[in-house]
Structure 1
Amino acid sequence: MNKVDLAFTPALEQAQLIRRREVSPSELVEVYLERISRLNPQLGSYFTVTAEQAIADAKAKTEMLPNASELPPFFGVPISIKDLNPVAGIACTYGNPALLNNISDYDDGVVTRIKQAGFILLGKTATSELGSTPYTEPTGFPPARNPWNLEYTAGGSSGGAAAAVAAGLCAIAQGSDGGGSIRGPAACCGLVGIKPSRGRVTHAPVGDRLSGIAINGPIARTVADAAALLDAMSGYVTGDPYWLSDPEPSFLAATQQKPGTLRIAYTTSIAPLGEADASCQQGVLQTVQLLQELGHTVEQKSIDFSGLVEPFQVVWQTSVASSGIPAEILQPLNRWLLARTGSAGQYLQAVYQMQVVARQIVAFFDTVDVLVLPVYLHSPIRVGEWANLSPEETFQNIIRWISPCPAANATGQPAIALPVGFDELGLPISVQLVGRPAAETTLLRLAAQLEAAKPWIQHRPALG
């Protein structure tokens, strides 16, 4: 296998190659570090590359192989970590250049799980500052660009993670999603991205500071890879404020099972914010046709998130204040959001309102197994397209663009983004599947069925 094919080989297959001694962890790491050195200056996908640590870890794992009887599932497979998640001994910038020397003294809980699964960490991927925007252009760093067309964004806030996976700069990636920050970048870059159910992935050792709207999850090239990484990430840690039992069977096993006949609703319009553009509508309508051909019961339904928009904004923008970063070193949009932050009472009132609306949204699923939506209301923006707008104008643009995503964050339901085609600019078109609470298994069965019916893995950006 040549080095390019190896770089784009799914993570689960890489793990099997390592087990069969057909490739070593050291060889894999060398492949990715060479690609990062060559392509990252164009892509802006990594803030920090931990080459020395990755080489040392790969060497140790390679030396372990001849005498290993049991190996963790992803032994020797390279992965990236988003730069909102602390990794001991490595800088955690949160997308702010003033924090380049902020060396973490602990591993985030999800990082611990990833290490236990046998992964090798290649570095920290680019994020928007504090993860607050759906494009990754933080001041003081190169923007994260879309590998399919470098003039366009890779999305955000997990934009670096998605760009890295799509361009073959890591096998698979960890991201996080507080309002579409996994699903959006996955959609922009033609990948599978899962926002898990609330309580599925721990926030240890610190905790959740946004009332359950944000969670870590996988970004991958295949549904099976994403499911297997979610298996590795999942699980309760003592003291978690909410949690779910481990699935039976595993999420990976679910991808090998048929979904049965499901009741599926769909829409291309999100009230009160409008209709999706032609490309995003195309993704939904093509998927609906395929679902009907696969035997599912599909019905168009109207969706109204009017009551969610304002309270979700209040909770979401509070993340800036909760970071503790002084206003004078924040970029303009986050300074503006910080200035808008209200009292503790206003925050709690917004949480209450969000929870009331969330109950209504979940009730919609009493008669529906899966809801099909666009991921965003329009195609990816150009890099820098909103750079000269006022913070208020930018914020309003963001609210409309991402409007199909935050409902699942508010309710804690699982959602998955899947690539389904390309638009006239050569950018990926994706669709979003939202499931019942804690029903990742149903989503993964359906996503795997769609993937099998319309495979995507053969597509690679020319840059890669």
Structure 2
Amino acid sequence: MSSIDENLAFSPATELRELILTREVSPIDITRLYLERINRLDPQLHSYLTVTSEIALEDARKAEQAVMAGEELGPLHGIPISIKDLQMTKGVRTTGGSLAYKDRIPEADCAVVERVLAAGAIMLGKTNSPEFGLLGANENRLGEPCRNPWNPERTSGGSSGGAAASIVAGLSSLATGGDGGGSIRIPASFNGIYGIKPTQGRVSNYSGVNSISAANYTSQQGPLTRTVRDSAVLLQVISGYDNRDPGSLRATVPDFESAVDRGIEGLRMGWSSDFGYASVDPEVKEVSEKAAMVFAELRCDVDDAGLKLDGAFDTWFKLFSLNAYLTQGHLLEDPDDPLSWYARWAIEEGSKVTGSDYARAVGERDRMIQQFADEFEKYDILLSPTMAVTAFSTDQYPQEIDGQDPYPNPAWGFLPFTHPINTIGFTAASIPCGFDSEGMPVGLHVIGRHGDEETVLAVSAAF
């Protein structure tokens, strides 16, 4: 490998982009740097399920040739990226975190992968995920759990846990993720990086395969990155209408990168420490509340929001688990019994959702949308802790949070702030805002109106 500063592995993608365009750094050298670090460090972290070294180096050579030839270059040209293993990649193993699909080789890319590769990004590999994204931690039956680089005894969070770990450990420049109940924001908070869940439909959910037609109220693809600007650049690339996804937004895609530089003085912000129902670790509450008050110093108006949610988990989980049953219910009868304990539980719960249950959940969703819309009549942004806890041990879920039993159980009760935003389809991000007394990152949750990623990005960048 040519001499290259290893610290470049932690440089923002926007800086790498400039170095590549000015021929100060070769796409080949930066790709080799990341691959060498993956080979050396990932056996301790397990952030990747598949590493595509040969493909990456071949694409890096082509990227180098294009630079030297003075060709028109895409916005991600030569930038190494990790792809979440729930996202289909043509010719590259895509397990979905499941033993049932451990040898699956898709015949087509999903929409997100199509767009990042067309923009010139170089795929390093597929990042670790819990089975079908059905958990907020990152364990599956394919191997070791993905570990948190701040403390390898702790979880990276899920379901985009491998994506987040790959960023914070310097094993990728950018990462794609997905968020059906918090799966971008959970690992962003646990690992101390930035992640944004776009408005529902902003990014195409076309999977690359023929699948059952089902309403998608909760799941959306998005970026995990070192900086807010990096997320804005990646979000710009992957956003936009796609007629293969019936839920895709037809609205013109905003200029997300310009939004990062927008002023925030005078914005009205509502802070909620609990959404009126959540138990939160006292340290997490203290750190995130102090972070929220920083915006008052930035000449924003910060007040206590009166938001009080009721039955939020049950509403979300009926919508979420029924989709899991529709797509993977056949595995309940698989004689090889490939399912993890949590995937089996979620899919079985989905099988119990009746038509009347579903109709009530959709009605409750409408009520929640109204509640948040009422808050946004008063505020431009809502703030909360991203998570109720910091990253916990890979083998022990929180049994108690601030003296209360997590609802509905320890495996699902630590994400009370994220899944309501999936239910309503609004946009939200997690900003790293400090650490607890054990040195684990804490995230601040920044929630915007439907379609208003621009203000979320502006607020995030100003912090």
**Which position in structure 2 is the counterpart of 1:435?**
448
How many Å apart are 1:446 and its aligned residue? 1.1
Maintained 8 Å contact 2:13/2:174 = yes
Q: What is the CA–CA distance in structure 2 between the aligned matches of 1:266 and 1:418, rounded to whole Å?
A: 15
Maintained 8 Å contact 1:43/1:147 = yes
Q: What is the CA–CA distance in structure 1 between the aligned matches of 2:117 and 2:142, rounded to whole Å?
A: 30
Q: What is the CA–CA distance in structure 2 between the aligned matches of 1:168 and 1:414, rounded to whole Å?
A: 27
Q: What is the CA–CA distance in structure 2 between the aligned matches of 1:263 and 1:424, rounded to whole Å?
A: 31
Matches for 1:244-263 after TM superposition, within 5 Å: 244-248=250-254, 250-263=255-268
Matches for 1:25-424 after TM superposition, within 5 Å: 25-204=27-206, 205=208, 209=214, 211-242=216-247, 243-248=249-254, 250-274=255-279, 276-324=280-328, 325-327=330-332, 328-340=337-349, 341-343=351-353, 345=355, 346-386=357-397, 396-424=409-437
Maintained 8 Å contact 2:135/2:412 = no
Unaligned runs of 5+ residues in structure 2 are: none
Q: What is the CA–CA distance in structure 2 between the aligned matches of 1:268 and 1:78, rounded to whole Å?
A: 37
Q: Which amino acid aligns with 2:294?
A: L
Q: What is the CA–CA distance in structure 2 between the aligned matches of 1:440 and 1:410, rounded to whole Å?
A: 17
Q: What is the CA–CA distance in structure 1 between the aligned matches of 2:108 and 2:216, rounded to whole Å?
A: 23
Structure 2 counterpart of 1:11, from 10, 13, 16? 13
Question: What whole-Å deviation, never above 9, does each CA across 1:55-90 have from its counterpart, x for those lacking one?
Answer: 111111112211124211110000011011100001
- Helix, strand or coil for the counterpart of 1:372? strand
Question: What whole-Å deviation, never above 9, does each CA across 1:321-366 have from its counterpart, x for those lacking one?
Answer: 1233512211122212222222551334422332332222222211
CA gap 1:210/1:330 in 2 versus in 1, 3 angstroms: farther
CA gap 1:2/1:424 in 2 versus in 1, 3 angstroms: farther
Question: What whole-Å deviation, never above 9, does each CA across 1:187-231 have from its counterpart, x for those lacking one?
Answer: 111100000001210112567745321100000000000111000
**Which position in structure 2 is the counterpart of 1:462?**
none
Taking only aligned residues, the RMSD between alpha carbons, in angstroms, comes to 2.1
CA gap 1:393/1:377 in 2 versus in 1, 3 angstroms: closer
Q: What is the CA–CA distance in structure 1 between the aligned matches of 2:216 and 2:312, rounded to whole Å?
A: 14
How many Å apart are 1:28 and its aligned residue? 0.9
How many Å apart are 1:38 and its aligned residue? 0.7
- Helix, strand or coil for the counterpart of 1:420? strand
- The normalised TM-score by structure 2 is 0.92
Maintained 8 Å contact 1:355/1:410 = no
Bigger CA drift: 320-329 or 168-177?
320-329
How many Å apart are 1:169 and its aligned residue? 0.3
- Helix, strand or coil for the counterpart of 1:379? coil
Q: What is the CA–CA distance in structure 1 between the aligned matches of 2:407 and 2:5, rounded to whole Å?
A: 41
CA gap 1:15/1:436 in 2 versus in 1, 3 angstroms: same
Q: Which amino acid aligns with 2:461?
A: A
Q: Which amino acid aligns with 1:245?
A: A
CA gap 1:147/1:266 in 2 versus in 1, 3 angstroms: same
Q: Number of residue pairs matched?
A: 446
Q: What is the CA–CA distance in structure 2 between the aligned matches of 1:445 and 1:38, rounded to whole Å?
A: 37
Maintained 8 Å contact 1:279/1:379 = no
Q: What is the CA–CA distance in structure 2 between the aligned matches of 1:140 and 1:189, rounded to whole Å?
A: 22
Bigger CA drift: 172-181 or 133-142?
133-142
Maintained 8 Å contact 1:25/1:59 = yes
Bigger CA drift: 279-288 or 366-375?
279-288
Maintained 8 Å contact 2:398/2:410 = no
Maintained 8 Å contact 1:359/1:411 = no
Aligned-pair identity (%): 34
Unaligned runs of 5+ residues in structure 1 are: 451-464
Q: Which amino acid aligns with 2:376?
A: F
Maintained 8 Å contact 1:157/1:181 = yes
Maintained 8 Å contact 1:179/1:213 = yes
Q: What is the CA–CA distance in structure 2 between the aligned matches of 1:98 and 1:199, rounded to whole Å?
A: 28
**Which position in structure 2 is the counterpart of 1:459?**
none
Q: What is the CA–CA distance in structure 2 between the aligned matches of 1:388 and 1:403, rounded to whole Å?
A: 15
- Helix, strand or coil for the counterpart of 1:142? coil
Bigger CA drift: 45-54 or 305-314?
305-314
Maintained 8 Å contact 2:288/2:442 = no
Q: What is the CA–CA distance in structure 1 between the aligned matches of 2:242 and 2:354, rounded to whole Å?
A: 28
**Which position in structure 2 is the counterpart of 1:447?**
460
Maintained 8 Å contact 1:29/1:54 = yes
Question: What whole-Å deviation, never above 9, does each CA across 1:144-175 have from its counterpart, x for those lacking one?
Answer: 11101111111000000000000000001000
- The normalised TM-score by structure 1 is 0.92
CA gap 1:393/1:298 in 2 versus in 1, 3 angstroms: closer
